[in-house]
Amino acid sequence: MQRRPFLLGCGCLAFAAAAGVRADEYDYQAPPRFARPDLGTDEGGLWAFMDREEQRLKRSSFLLRDPALHGYVNGIACRLAGDHCPEMRVYLVRTPYFNASMAPNGMMQVWSGLLVRMQNEAQLAAVLGHEIGHYLQRHSVERLRDAKSRSSFGLIVGMALGVAGGGSLGTLAQMGILASSLAYGRDQEREADRIGIALMARNGYAPAEAGRVWGQLLEEYEGAKAAGEEVSSTNILFASHPPAEERREVLAAAAKRDWPGAARMGADEYRAALAPHRMGFLYDEVRRRRFGESLVLFDRLLKSSPRDGQVQYFKGEVYRLRGSEGDAKLALEAYRASLAMDNTPPEAHRALGTVLRHAGDNDGATRAFQRYLELKPDAEDAELIRSYLTGSAS
Amino acid sequence: MRLTPWLAAAALAALAGCAQIVKVEPGQVTVKEALRLSTTSAWNRFELQFPLSVAPGASEVWTQDGVTLDALAFFVGIAQGETLGRAIGGKKLPQFRSTLTPGEIVELYEQMVTQDGSAFALKRIAPGRFGGQPGFRFEYTITRKSDSVLLKGVAQGAVVKDKLYLAAFTAPSIYYYDRHLPQVEPLLATAEIIAR
């Protein structure tokens, strides 16, 4: 811990220490603490709206209510936010898409689809730092005023309120729509990127990971395109102005500056913190049926952790669920490979049995199902699997 | 007491502005000329004209108190290459194949009901009978995306002559599931697959 003094306390020292060392666009000074705006002002109205959304989010069954993981992510966000930490409340949400957002009232959401995609703590810090940058510069208030001056305010508020009125979409979807109707401008994104990388580096994180986040998203996008999958217009890559390629390059260049002591990756800590939830996150990921994207993601995770039987099993699941020509063989290979790795879930045996059964290898299927039942005798489908073994069901 | 559910259903129909409720009288009923049931109580058949997250594209949906409170969905005669239910919002659904295992058929069901972002969890699956044929039965929960309500469900299905027949009852775990299950179970026990 001695070699990472920035991580002690709440980062306020970090700001003071960095001030005066370099005077340029990356030498960011956070504004003083924010007070709650008067309800009569436009900003107060925006806060009140977000407060109501936050109340709904707090009740949502999709919130991950694990104190350990929450404490871990909250701790990172808090150090990045420095003095502003007490203004912030972090919510982890089970939604399998890449997203993090921070509302002007201090409500930060981090989705599980983002958590499963980050390789290490530094990458997560890069994304959180970027969102905190928007917050510290009060970009959403700027955006609101800009929209008002262009007389589209009524439309935006109407949309936001209409959606919040309890349409068929849930709170999180509403937040997405609200966020896009108040989408940040090009210059705001650039500023948040600069602040984000400065905050992460001052807290000791390797700044090169910021550009890699965008690089990874671009690879997944290429994977989806190659697989002939439509890329939704809500995809973060399309919503991003400036484009993802530019952000990747600018961030990579910024990382090459002199950032004293900024080398921390935190890959092991990150993996350990996510471990209790990773099965669920990966399960949700494959059920998006974005097979091209998932395969790129899984190959990347396997590259950094080649004996990860969990990821290898889900790679098999991608092939099995996709079910295209030749996929049965690929699934079979993936399941077999996973069973020679570490931390492989018992479900890999069941999946192997299912694929072998379809291939007509009844002996192989029987052995796999038996192994599954040995490992998970109280499985929710134990009765069904037993019936396969006794031949009492088709 | 019959008034309340009718009011609720009518209000829902009025709100939706595009659905029609038809009364299912006690007696013998046939769904899509392929699944015959005998009901001792009256039901409301919901004529779907808009996507309904618990059963988009079902052959028929019956309800007592309104489809958001209890829904008994029938999927009748799903053939090779067809999807279980209908895709909504540009999503893609996997196709039914007659060689699928019951576990894989549950996956079809899961993919259908989670298209709106709802979360599905399988609680139990076991061999069973449906429509007078060997089949399977599964129990599940769905956390509904739109309002975070926890739903409980039970489904019975069978694959007969390469076609899938499935009935799934879903209702909020608080009150409604237990209230209607005693009617649903005996009703499904009368099911008979009469497809040619």
Q: How far is B26 from chain A (nearest CA, A)?
A: 33
Q: What is the pLDDT of residue A13?
A: 36
pLDDT over 60 (residue A21): no
Do B94 and A354 count as a contact with CB atoms less than 8 A apart?
no
- What's the token pair of residue A165? 């009125």
Count Cβ atoms below 10 Å from residue A317 Cβ, excluding itself: 24
- What's the token pair of residue A133? 């940058």
Residue B147, chain A, CB below 8 Å: the answer is: yes
pLDDT over 50 (residue A3): no
Query: Which residue among B119, B136, B159 places its CB closest to the CB of A384?
Result: B136
Buried b (16+ CB within 10 A) or exposed e, A56-68: bbeebbbbbeeee
Q: Where does B3-193 sit in CATH, by number?
A: 3.40.1000.10
* Average pLDDT of the segment spanning A165-191: 58
Contacts of A173 in chain B (CB under 8 A): 117, 145
Q: How confident is the model at residue A9 (pLDDT cuts 50, 70, 90)?
A: very low
For residue B129, give the H/E element and its range: strand B119-130
A393/A316 Cα distance (integer angstroms): 26
pTM as predicted? 0.87
Q: How confident is the model at residue A57 (pLDDT cuts 50, 70, 90)?
A: very high
How many CA atoms lie within 13 Å of B168's alpha carbon, on the beta-carbon side? 29
Q: What chain B residue is nearest to A387 in terms of C-alpha separation?
A: B127
Do A230 and B114 count as a contact with CB atoms less than 8 A apart?
no
Q: How confident is the model at residue A27 (pLDDT cuts 50, 70, 90)?
A: confident
Count Cβ atoms below 10 Å from residue A162 Cβ, excluding itself: 12
Query: Which residue among B123, B145, B159 places its CB closest to the CB of A380?
Result: B123
Do A291 and A228 meet the contact criterion of CB atoms below 8 Å apart? no
Residue B50, chain A, CB below 8 Å: the answer is: no
Q: What is the pLDDT of residue A150?
A: 55
Q: Which of A53, A59, A61, A366 to mutate to test the interface with B (most CBs of B within 10 A)?
A: A61
Q: What is the pLDDT of residue B136?
A: 98
Contacts of A169 in chain B (CB under 8 A): 116, 145-146
Among the listed residues B112, B118, B24, B11, the one whose alpha carbon sits nearest the alpha carbon of residue B63 = B24
Residue B117, chain A, CB below 8 Å: the answer is: yes
Residue B127, chain A, CB below 8 Å: the answer is: yes
pLDDT over 90 (residue A153): no
Do A168 and B92 count as a contact with CB atoms less than 8 A apart?
no
Mean model confidence pLDDT for chain A: 85
Contacts of B114 in chain A (CB under 8 A): 287
Q: How far is A93 from chain B (nearest CA, A)?
A: 12
What ipTM goes with this model?
0.88
Do B119 and A94 count as a contact with CB atoms less than 8 A apart?
yes
Q: What is the pLDDT of residue A2?
A: 36
Percent of chain A with pLDDT over 70: 82
Q: Is B4 exposed, middle or buried (0-12, 13-18, 19+ CB in 10 A)?
A: exposed
Contacts of B134 in chain A (CB under 8 A): 393-394
Q: How far is A283 from chain B (nearest CA, A)?
A: 11
Phi then psi for residue A47, to 5 deg, are -60, -45
Least confident of A7-21, A180-194, A232-246, B159-173: A7-21
Least confident of A145-149, A225-229, A281-285, B45-49: A145-149
Q: How confident is the model at residue A168 (pLDDT cuts 50, 70, 90)?
A: very low
Q: What chain A residue is nearest to B127 in terms of C-alpha separation?
A: A384
A253/B133 Cα distance (integer angstroms): 67
A281/A297 Cα distance (integer angstroms): 13
Q: Among all chains, which residue has been given the structure tokens 């061999």?
A: B127
pLDDT over 80 (residue A24): no
Q: Give the CA dihedral B195, B71, B94, B75, nearest 10 degrees.
A: 0
Q: Which of A172, A380, A389 to mutate to test the interface with B (most CBs of B within 10 A)?
A: A380
Residue B162, chain A, CB below 8 Å: the answer is: no
> What are the extents of the domains in chain A?
5-255, 274-390
- What's the token pair of residue A41? 């002002």
Task: Please list, in sequence order, all residues whose beta carbon lies within 8 angstroms of the beta carbon of residue A21, skipping any fewer than 6 positions away.
Answer: A27
Q: What is the pLDDT of residue B50?
A: 65
Question: What confidence tens digit (pLDDT) does each residue in A330-366 have?
Answer: 999 999 999 999 999 999 999 999 999 999 999 999 9
Q: What is the pLDDT of residue A238?
A: 63
Whether domain A274-390 has CATH 3.90.75.20: no
Q: What is the pLDDT of residue A296?
A: 97
Do A388 and A376 meet the contact criterion of CB atoms below 8 Å apart? no
Task: Please list, in sequence order, all residues whose beta carbon lies within 8 angstroms of the beta carbon of residue B11, skipping any fewer than 6 positions away.
Answer: B66
Q: What is the pLDDT of residue B141?
A: 98
pLDDT over 90 (residue A19): no
Q: Among all chains, which residue has been given the structure tokens 């509403």?
A: A174
pLDDT over 50 (residue A12): no
- DSSP-based three-state secondary structure for A382: helix
Tens digit of each residue's pLDDT, chain B (196 residues)? 344 555 555 555 445 555 688 899 999 999 999 999 999 999 999 876 666 777 888 999 999 998 889 999 999 999 999 999 999 877 889 999 999 999 999 999 999 999 989 999 999 999 999 999 999 999 999 999 888 999 999 999 999 999 999 999 999 999 999 999 999 999 999 999 997 6
Q: Among all chains, which residue has been given the structure tokens 């940058």?
A: A133
Higher pLDDT, B56 or A23: B56
Contacts of B122 in chain A (CB under 8 A): 380-381
Q: How far is B36 from chain A (nearest CA, A)?
A: 23
